Amino acid sequence: MTLGESFLSHHIDPYILEHIQMEKEYSQQDDLTLVWSDDVSLTLCFLASLAHHGEYSQEHLLQRYFQWWMNGYMCPTGLCFTPRIHLKKSIDLFGETQAAQALGIEVDIDKKTVDIPSKPAALLRLSPIGYFYSKHSYSKRIEIIKDCTKRMFGRKAPIDVFIAYIELLVNALNGVSKHDILQSIQLKQNSNDLINKIFFDLIDLISNDNNNIEQGLQRALEKKSSQPKECKYLNPFDSDETILLTLYLQIKNN
């Protein structure tokens, strides 16, 4: 029996087959399907939640995430591309901890997040905290960053990197000079941690762009990630190189 025959011998929900076919068709329409990545969609979900609810709400944000996953909310095609495993786990964990909290049940987050890495794209997905709370106190931002990272990635997540990026964005939004922004960074470099490495790649772009955004963009495009791709069929806009470019634009466009 061939692999195809084996696949067809099992009952598969027609919805799943239809979804796979839609993704296949969309992937052939360069002007429509890949205009932004899953990470941009999730970032927009967070922004929409903050704007609609008026403040950070775990329950409201979770609803937006599930709308993205199930209904294509904030997707350009109205269809959510099959989420990567770590995204599914992250959203599932968020939902589980939120439900447990509502019922007064304690959840051992550390056991559930041992296999959920915090990818560089997570910096982008949490960036709405910087936009929405740029005029609030530092302690308020820290409170929300810690809650989000704990729920999505566990207590071992590199919270210091998330804080450093959000504060970098806040300083840019508030018109702090490039010199003062760079001087304010106290995070220690760790090339063995991918999210830390991406942050310092960003600092390198900002430091050496000669105050010329085109030069910075060119340098960003020239950087190559040493990380192997999870799957050749993934949305190419979900790459670390694209995330670095997007983070740079977030800082320089303010």
Looking at residue 225, what is its pLDDT? 53
In a domain, 139, yes or no: yes
Looking up residue 180, the CATH number of its domain turns out to be: 1.10.4080.10
Check pLDDT > 70 for residue 178.
Answer: yes
Instruction: Place 170 in a pLDDT band, splitting at 50, 70 and 90.
Output: very high
Domain region containing 99: 7-252
Looking at residue 40, what is its pLDDT? 84
In a domain, 70, yes or no: yes
Q: Specify the higher pLDDT residue, 219 or 2.
A: 219
Of 147-161, 174-188, 229-243, the poorest mean pLDDT is in: 229-243
In a domain, 204, yes or no: yes
Looking at residue 240, what is its pLDDT? 77
Average pLDDT over residues 123-139: 94
From 163, 167, 251, select the one nearest 209 (Cα to Cα): 251
In a domain, 127, yes or no: yes
| Separation of alpha carbons 230 and 158, rounded Å | 22
Instruction: Place 14 in a pLDDT band, splitting at 50, 70 and 90.
Output: low
Looking at residue 123, what is its pLDDT? 94
Instruction: Place 11 in a pLDDT band, splitting at 50, 70 and 90.
Output: very low
In a domain, 245, yes or no: yes
Looking at residue 193, what is its pLDDT? 87
Of 118-122, 128-132, 238-242, the poorest mean pLDDT is in: 238-242
Instruction: Place 242 in a pLDDT band, splitting at 50, 70 and 90.
Output: confident
In a domain, 93, yes or no: yes
As for how many domains the chain has, the answer is 1
In a domain, 1, yes or no: no
What's the token pair of residue 163?
């804080």
Q: Other CB atoms closer than 10 Å to residue 99's CB: what's the count?
A: 13
Looking at residue 100, what is its pLDDT? 66
Residues 6 or more apart whose Cβ sits within 8 Å of residue 221 = 241, 245
Q: What percent of the chain has pLDDT over 90?
A: 32
pLDDT digits (tens, 9 = 90+) for 211-238: 898 888 888 888 765 455 554 444 555 5
| Separation of alpha carbons 219 and 78, rounded Å | 33
In a domain, 199, yes or no: yes
Looking at residue 116, what is its pLDDT? 64
**35, 77 contact by CB (below 8 A):** no
Average pLDDT over residues 22-48: 67
| Separation of alpha carbons 148 and 126, rounded Å | 8
